Amino acid sequence: MTINSCEKKEEPNLAPEAPQLSSPANQAKDVNLNVTLSWKTATDPNGDAVSYNVYLGTEANPVNVIISGLKVTTYQPTLMANTTYYWKVVANDDSGGSKESTVWSFSTLNNAPSEVTLNIPNDGATDIALDTILTWQASTDPDGDDITYDIYLGTEDPPVTKVSADQTSTTFQTTLGSNTIYYWKVVAKDNHGGVTESIVWHFETLSDRPPPVFGSTVDPRDGKSYKTVTIGGNQGGRIAEDGQTWLAENLAYLPDFDGKLVYNYTGSDVEEARSSEYYGKYGVLYTWIAAMNGESPSGSNPSGVQGLCPDGWHLPSRPEWNELIGYVWERDSLDMGIALRAEEGWDEGGNGKDYYGFGALPAGQYNIGFTLAGLYTYWWTTNFYYNDDQKGPVVWYESLSYQSKGIGDGAAYGAEYYFSVRCVKD
C-alpha cells in the first residue's frame, strides 16, 4: 500500500517597497530648523509590518542612523543652522527584508542675530567726553551661534569708518575730537554669515569754544540799535588777543537808495522800505561802491575803511575775515557753516548752531533781480581785486550757503552786485 504525503511550501520573503521621500524637497534651501522629515508609506508584498530607519548627516551618503524602528512616516530631527544635510530612509519588514530610498539633501536657514540696542551715549546727547565709552546691549542669536560686533564711528551720516571689528565685548573706548558731531552704529554678526545692523545714533562732544560775548551799539545817524558779539580774545587761536567785535547782524543804514536796496522792495520810499519784512530780517544790500562811501580799497588788518559803518566801526578786509575764519576753523573745521549759520531762517535744512553768536542769515543778493534769499548770503570786503573799465571794479566778497561746510569767497563787480555788509569795531 502506497501512502502519499503533501507538504506546504513556504513563500519566499519579499522586501518592502523603497520609501519615497516627500519633504523637505530635494536640494531645498533655507529650511527651518524645526522641519519635519516625511516620506510615503512603503507597502510589503507579503503583508508584513514595516518599520523605518532614518539616516541623516552631512556626508553625501549618510551613514548615521538617527532613529530606527519607526512605525510612522515622519520624524523631526535636531538640526544646526546654515548646514547642508543628506538623508535617506530604509524600510524594514519583520522577516529581514529591507529597501532604502534615494538620498536627498537640504540646507538649513541661518537666522541672523537680533538687532543691537545702543545704550550710551544717548541719541542726540551733547557735551560728551572725548574719551567716552560706547556701550550697547548684547545681541542674541536664534540659532545659538557665536556673535561678534563691528563698530562704525565717524562724522558722516551714516558712518562708514569701521573703528573696531570682530570684538566680543559690548563696549568700545573712543578717542574723539572736541566740538564734533559723531554718528555711530554697531553691526552684530554670527559665525554663519548672519548680519544685523543697529540704527544710527549721533552725539556731540564737549566744546572748547569760549562763549561769545554779546553787547549792543546804537548808530547815531538813524538811532538803530544793533546786537554785537565779541569772538575770540585771549582764549587762543589765530585771532587778535583781544578778539574781534562784530555787528551780530547786517548793516541796515538806509538814508537813500543810491547804491542801496532792501530785498524784494522795488519802491522809492525809504520809510516804507524800512518797515518791510526783509529790512528787519536782513538789513540792506549795498553795491561795493556805496558801501565804501568813496574811500580807497584796503587789504590791511584792520582795514581802516569806515565806509558806511557807524563811527567807531569799519568795513572788514579779507585778512580780518580770515582771522574770524581761522579762529572758527580751529574749533569747527568739519563744519564752519553750521557753526556760523543762525539757528533758524535758512531753507532746505540749512539752519545752523550759531556757536559763535555771529547769527549769519541768508540775505540773498541783487543783480538784475533779487535772488537766493533763504539759501545764500554775501558780504563785501575792502579788498580790490582788479579794475574793469567797462563794468567798474571787481571786488572780493565772502559768502555762506545753506549747505556750506566753510565760508566761501569770490569776486564780483562792485558797481553791479548788491551784497550785505558786516561791520567790525575799530
**Domains of the chain with CATH codes:** 21-108 (2.60.40.10), 117-205 (2.60.40.10), 213-425 (no CATH)
- CA–CA distance, 83 with 77 (Å, rounded to integer): 13
Residue 195 has pLDDT above 70, yes or no: yes
The closest alpha carbon to 354, from 364, 370, 369, 343, belongs to 343
pLDDT tens for each residue of 37-47: 999 999 989 88
Would you place residue 152 in the very low, low, confident or very high pLDDT band (cuts 50, 70, 90)? very high
Residue 1 has pLDDT above 60, yes or no: no
Pairing mode of beta strands 195-197, 369-371: unpaired
The closest alpha carbon to 279, from 403, 372, 373, 141, belongs to 373
How far, CA to CA in Å, does 67 sit from each of 83, 90, 136, 315?
A: 20, 11, 44, 93
Asked if residues 377 and 400 have their Cβ atoms less than 8 Å apart, the reply is yes
Q: What is the mean pLDDT of residues 410-417?
A: 96
CB neighbour class for 375 (10 Å; exposed up to 12, middle 13-18, buried from 19): middle
Residue 206 has pLDDT above 60, yes or no: yes
Q: Say what the pLDDT of residue 2 is.
A: 46
Q: Say what the pLDDT of residue 148 is.
A: 96
- CA–CA distance, 218 with 379 (Å, rounded to integer): 21
Which of 89-93, 129-133, 279-283, 388-392 has the weakest average pLDDT?
A: 388-392
Beta pairing partners, 13: none
CA angle 220, 225, 228 (to 5 degrees): 115
Q: Say what the pLDDT of residue 193 is.
A: 82
Adjacency order of strands within the sheet including 224-231: 213-219, 224-231, 244-247, 424-425, 313-314
- CA–CA distance, 305 with 289 (Å, rounded to integer): 12
C-alpha cell at 49: 509590518
Would you place residue 239 in the very low, low, confident or very high pLDDT band (cuts 50, 70, 90)? low
Q: What is the mean pLDDT of residues 340-367?
A: 95
pLDDT tens for each residue of 355-369: 999 999 999 999 999
The type of residue at 259 is: G
Q: Say what the pLDDT of residue 10 is.
A: 64
Residue 307 has pLDDT above 60, yes or no: yes
Q: What is the mean pLDDT of residues 156-171?
A: 96
What's the mean per-residue pLDDT of the chain?
Answer: 92
- CA–CA distance, 260 with 247 (Å, rounded to integer): 19
The closest alpha carbon to 385, from 302, 289, 306, 299, belongs to 299
Sign of CA dihedral 396, 398, 401, 406: positive
Residues 6+ apart with CB under 8 A from 395: 288, 297, 380, 381, 383, 384, 385, 411, 412, 413, 414
Tell me 123's DSSP state: T
Residue 243 has pLDDT above 50, yes or no: yes
Using DSSP's 3-state secondary structure scheme, residue 360 falls into strand
Q: What is the mean pLDDT of residues 384-403?
A: 92
Beta pairing partners, 87: 56, 104
Would you place residue 335 in the very low, low, confident or very high pLDDT band (cuts 50, 70, 90)? confident
Would you place residue 82 in the very low, low, confident or very high pLDDT band (cuts 50, 70, 90)? confident
- CA–CA distance, 411 with 399 (Å, rounded to integer): 10
Q: What is the mean pLDDT of residues 43-65?
A: 94
Residues 6+ apart with CB under 8 A from 249: 226, 227, 283, 359, 361
Residue 8 has pLDDT above 70, yes or no: no
Q: Say what the pLDDT of residue 5 is.
A: 47
- pTM over the 0.85 mark: no
Half-sphere exposure of 74 (CA within 13 A, CB side): 6
